[in-house]
Structure 1
Amino acid sequence: MSDFVTESIESGIQVLCFDRVEKKNAITLDMYQALTDALRRAEANPEIKVTLLHGAGGDFSSGNDINEFVQIAQTPEKMEAIMAFLQVLTSYKKPLIAGVEGRAVGVGATMLLHCDLVLASREARLQFPFVQLGLVPEAASSHVLPQLVGHQKAFEILILGEVVDATQAHELGLVNHLCEETEAYKVAFRFAEKVAALPVEAVALSKDLLKYRGQDDVQMALMREGRIFKDRLRSKEAHQAFSTFLSRNK
């Protein structure tokens, strides 16, 4: 595992925690690899019935590590680690639950679209700032989000990239239930226990029935986005946006 992704297994529940608190749980290539390996192990382990994602330190994840994106722009083949994670995430066969506190930005927000249950604190904030960075949406969000909220609202969320607060996310159907601040993990774990107590095969088959009709479209969107995203990383717009972002953070 990565130093910044922790894994524990309790009562049939695999808990994966983003633990890079000083960077608001920004995800590195090593973290992507660790998450991919963990999800693959879980699918092969009959003792694991549910996977729960959450972030340490009051944030879910601030998205991709921008410093690494600057490096990836020079060596696009490094995108393979990201794409491998997204492929496993979007086709994951076991129930996937997220407990969200604070910021869920970029891939920290798009991965929630592929969770089966999302529990969020009332202070949680989702944001999809791809266009502001000169990029395009990823994780098949260009396909999944319009299916959930309609074209016009998806355009607003993905193109303007403004913050979607927890109440809005709940009203739009991006979040199942809201809870008080610091309670998201505890509430998410309770839901995970409920799911883990159900007949395993019936749960898996029911998830497959819910998702199978759109699965090919999701994978096609994921691949198309990936090709365009890789090209955008080398674009002048992205380079300027990254430079502005990094200089502002300094």
Structure 2
Amino acid sequence: MSDYVTEYIESGVLVLCLKRAEKKNAITLDMYQALTEALHRAALNSEVKVTLLYGAGGDFSSGNDIKEFVQIAQAPEKMEAIMAFLQVLSGYKKPLIAGVEGRAVGVGATMLLHCDLVLASREARLQFPFVQLGLVPEAASSHLLPQLVGYQKAFEILVLGEFVSAQEANEIGLVNHLCEEGEAYEMAFSYAKKVASLPVEAVALSKDLLKYRAQDDVQMALMREGRIFKDRLRSTEAHQAFASFLSRKK
């Protein structure tokens, strides 16, 4: 388990917390591996009825750690850790619930598309800035987002890459319910306990019925995006975008 990912089980709910607040919970390869292993364990643990994802320190996640991405661009095979997480996330059979405060950027936003319930603070903001970084959408977002919000709105969100407010996210179906700032975890845990109290097999079968038609399409989108994403990491556009981003950070 990474120092930046914590987990515990309470009332049948596995709580997975991204705990790298000083970096706005930017996700490293070690964190991806820790999350993957935690979800694999949870899938086999009968004590776990529901899994809850949230980020400590006021932000859900600022996405991938850009400094690591610069390194991955030189060794794209390192993307295997990311792909392993996305595959287990997209195929996870138990209910997934997210509590979102602050920023959910990049993979911090696309992973929400795989959750069954998303509860967010009114101050939360989602962003999918892949094109701005010379990349392409990932985590099957090129398939899931148009299905959810329609093609034109998905194009706007994924290509322009501007922030989506919590209010708009709620209106277009990216977020189930809104709460006051600082209350997303409590609200998400409350919903998680409600789901955990229901008949386990009935819940799992209902999730499967809701998702089974899309599963093949989701996996195909993951693979197609992954291939193009690796190529884009080597592109001049991506290298220039990363260099510009890192210079601004300095």
TM tier, smaller = over 0.9
Aligned equivalents of 1:80, 1:34: Cα separation in 2: 13
Partner of 1:178: 178
Which amino acid is 2:117 matched to?
Answer: L
| 1:220 alignment counterpart | 220
1:76-108 CA-to-partner distances (Å, cap 9, x unmatched) read: 110000000000000100000000000000000
Name structure 1 gaps, 5 residues minimum: none
Letter in 1 for 2:210: L
For residue 41 of structure 1, report the CA deviation from its aligned partner: 0.3
Match of 2:40 in 1: 40
Residue 121 in 1 paired to residue 121 in 2?
A: yes
Deviations 1:180-226 (A, max 9, x none): 00000000000000000000000000000000000000000000000
For 2:16, the equivalent position in structure 1 comes to 16
Q: What's the counterpart of residue 70 of structure 1? A: 70
Deviation for aligned residue 1:138: 0.1
Q: In structure 2, what is the Cα distance between the partners aligned to 1:249 and 1:220?
A: 35
- Name the amino acid aligned to 1:226: G
Could you tell me how far apart the structure 2 residues matched to 1:73 and 1:123 are?
33
1:49 aligns with 2:49: yes
SS at match of 1:123: coil
Amino acid at match of 2:218: V
Residue in 2 that maps onto 1:210:
210
Instruction: Give the partner amino acid of 2:124.
Output: A
Distance 1:154 1:204 in 2: 29
Name the amino acid aligned to 2:61. Answer: S
Corresponding residue number in structure 2 for 1:159? 159
Letter in 2 for 1:40: H
1:201 aligns with 2:201: yes
Q: Percent identity?
A: 84
Aligned residue number for residue 97 of structure 2: 97
Provide the C-alpha distance between the structure 2 equivalents of 1:41 and 1:205, rounded to a whole number of angstroms: 20
> Tell me, what secondary structure is at the counterpart of 1:57?
helix
CA RMSD of aligned residues (A): 0.3
CA distance in 2, matches of 1:177, 1:12: 22
CA distance in 2, matches of 1:48, 1:21: 26
User: When the two structures are superposed, what TM-score results if normalisation uses the length of structure 2?
Assistant: 1.00
Instruction: Give the secondary-structure state (helix, strand or coil) at the position aligned to 2:58.
Output: coil
Matched residues, number:
250
State the distance in 1 between where 2:149 and 2:188 align: 23
The residue matched to 1:27 in structure 2 has which SS? coil
* 1:11 to partner: Cα distance: 1.1
1:234 and 2:234 correspond: yes
Alignment correspondent of 2:27: 27
Residue 150 of structure 2 corresponds to which residue in structure 1? 150
Residue 50 of structure 1 and its aligned partner are, at CA, apart by 0.2
Q: Give me the TM-score of the superposition, normalised by structure 1.
A: 1.00
Aligned-pair CA distance for 1:135 = 0.2
1:108 alignment partner AA: G
Aligned AA (2:10)? E
